[in-house]
Amino acid sequence: MPFELTGTAKYHLNRAMLIVALLNLAYFFVEFAVALTIGSVSLFADSADFFEDAAVNFLILAALGWSPKRRAKVGMLLSAVLLAPVIAFLWTLWHKIGTPVPPAAIPLSITGLGALIINLFAAFLLARFRHHAGSLTKAAFLSARNDALANVAIILAGLVTLRFLSVWPDIIVGLGIAYMNLNAAREVWTAARDEHRLAQAEP
């Protein structure tokens, strides 16, 4: 059963969500620009993920004042939004297979490191709220946590590419990002569905 937030705790959650949303939106533009410049599948998918995270957090900010039943419905919608990076990856993968040129390794790793710093900070801000307000804050925390893991993989892909000049590290990491987002979508959907059932059971 999710804990409800009131007073000061709700203010701190709102502030944390706003900071995370703005950071995600800002780094989306950074990562998207680098992805286009160096031709990276994993960075393009991750930049789409940053944009998705910003949208999720702005939606959560709007929905925190709603009833548990309405929040649960938004949580179900967000589980579908989490699939956006998977679609972006499949689109870029299709084009990458046609022109299998490895991305520039050093910019790939440096951009991944910047993304890691952003996501670790976001996960730190959201960690204490992940069991509050049901599936909404769970969605935000899962996104930040999964993205930090993906960023470590992007850094390693850049280092491997620097050594072997292969397109495959970038593609493999992109597949990993797609898988983590599918798993996160499933977890958020399950949490939202359970929350909706509890809300319906209440008198």
Is residue 88 within 8 Å of residue 48, measured between CB atoms? Answer: yes
Q: List, for residues 84-103, the tens digit of each pLDDT value.
A: 777 777 888 888 888 888 99
Per-residue pLDDT at 7 = 64
- CB neighbours of residue 68 within 10 Å: 18
Nearest to 180 by CA among 127, 144, 134, 136: 144
Is residue 170 within 8 Å of residue 40, measured between CB atoms? Answer: yes
Q: What residues contact 60, with CB distance under 8 A and at least 6 apart?
A: 17, 74, 78, 133, 136, 137, 139, 140
Per-residue pLDDT at 126 = 83
**In whole angstroms, what is the distance from residue 50 CA to residue 56 CA?**
10
Per-residue pLDDT at 58 = 81
CA angle 41, 42, 44 (to 5 degrees): 65
pTM attached to this predicted model: 0.80
pLDDT beneath 70, residues of the chain:
1-7, 64-65, 130-136, 199, 202-203
Residues 37-59 as b/e (b if ≥16 CB within 10 A, e otherwise) read ebbbbbbbbbbbbbbbbbbbbbb
Residue appearing with tokens 């490895």: 102
DSSP result, 20-80: HHHHHHHHHHHHHHHHHHHT-HHHHHHHHHHHHHHHHHHHHHHHTTS-HHHHHHHHHHHHH
Per-residue pLDDT at 131 = 63
